[in-house]
Amino acid sequence: MFKSALHFGTLVWLGLALSSCIVSKKQFDELLTEKVKLEGELNSLQSKTVLLEEQLDSLTTALQDREADNQRLQAELARKSARLDSLLAEHDRLQQYYNNAINNSSRLNRDMQEQHNRLMALQKTLADAEYRNNLLADSLAAREQKVAELEQVLQQTQQAITDLKNLVNQALTGFTSDELTVEQKNGRIYVSLSEKLLFKSGSIEVDPKGKKALIKLAKALRDADHIQIMVEGHTDNVPITGKSRYMQDNWDLSVMRATSIVKILTANGVDPKLLIAAGRGEYLPVAPNDSPQNRQLNRRTEIILTPDLRTLYQVLGKEN
């Protein structure tokens, strides 16, 4: 553009010069100088124009690159924005999950604490149960041992009673059943001697035959130290005759007859510490006092042999 303008100016200048036909040398030189100056400026302007055109091309290319970059950046920004929106939505979703997890965690913590408390209570209950079970096991073992000891003592006691009965039966052979009987009941030996064998009616003196039986019994019992011997006198309900200062009724009679028998037993070797004299009078009959035969049955003396139960009491833990 600048080149065309300068060329046009040169043509105009030449035309003016030619049109004037005559110019002075000074004017010509000035014009020539001006021409050279203008041509120099023209060349300079042309060089700048080329440079500017090159710069324009470079800037245009750069602008195009920038626009391409801008488009890429816009596209990347759109992708990043979409990604950001997606991440924000994911964040919100995760935040909700987190909040729910926190709430669930709180509930789980409470549930776990409750479960822990129940577990601890259950463990304590189990420990208490095991402790009680151990106590029961120990107690059961002790009870089983005590039962075994008790069974052994009872067996020994029963055997001792049986042996004692056999010993008494052997000692009192030769007497009839209406004179005496030997019976085992309630863990005791009952030797029942009739009045017919021992006493005359209303008397406290033992007849010779009855004394013989008592001596035999004493010989069988004098080595025994593991029994208790109670002598009980019994009468019918017929009042006594011939009352005295020391005997007013059947009760007195029953006691004095028991005492007479005790004296015979001790005189023949039975330890007095083992003996008890007692009287029941008419108050423990074996038959109704409604006939002579029944009243005769009630007039009797019973010697009750009881085994020593101290060992049994020791096993039961009842000994003082």
For residue 244, name the pLDDT band (cuts at 50, 70, 90). confident
Q: Is 124 helix (H, G, I), strand (E, B) or coil?
A: helix
For residues 312 and 149, the answer to whether their CB atoms sit within 8 Å is: no
Query: How far is 144 from 49, CA to CA, in rounded Å?
Result: 129
The model's pLDDT over 83-135, given as tens digits with 9 standing for 90+, comes to 888 888 888 888 888 888 788 778 878 888 888 898 889 889 989 888 888 88
Question: Does 61 have pLDDT greater than 60?
Answer: yes
Question: Does 1 have pLDDT greater than 60?
Answer: no
pTM, rounded to two decimals: 0.56
Q: Euclidean distance between the first and final Cα of the chain, in Å?
A: 147
Question: Does 39 have pLDDT greater than 70?
Answer: yes
Question: Does 171 have pLDDT greater than 80?
Answer: yes
Query: How far is 93 from 98, CA to CA, in rounded Å?
Result: 8
Question: Does 16 have pLDDT greater than 60?
Answer: no
Query: How far is 167 from 186, CA to CA, in rounded Å?
Result: 18
Query: How far is 42 from 60, CA to CA, in rounded Å?
Result: 25
What type of residue sits at position 178? D
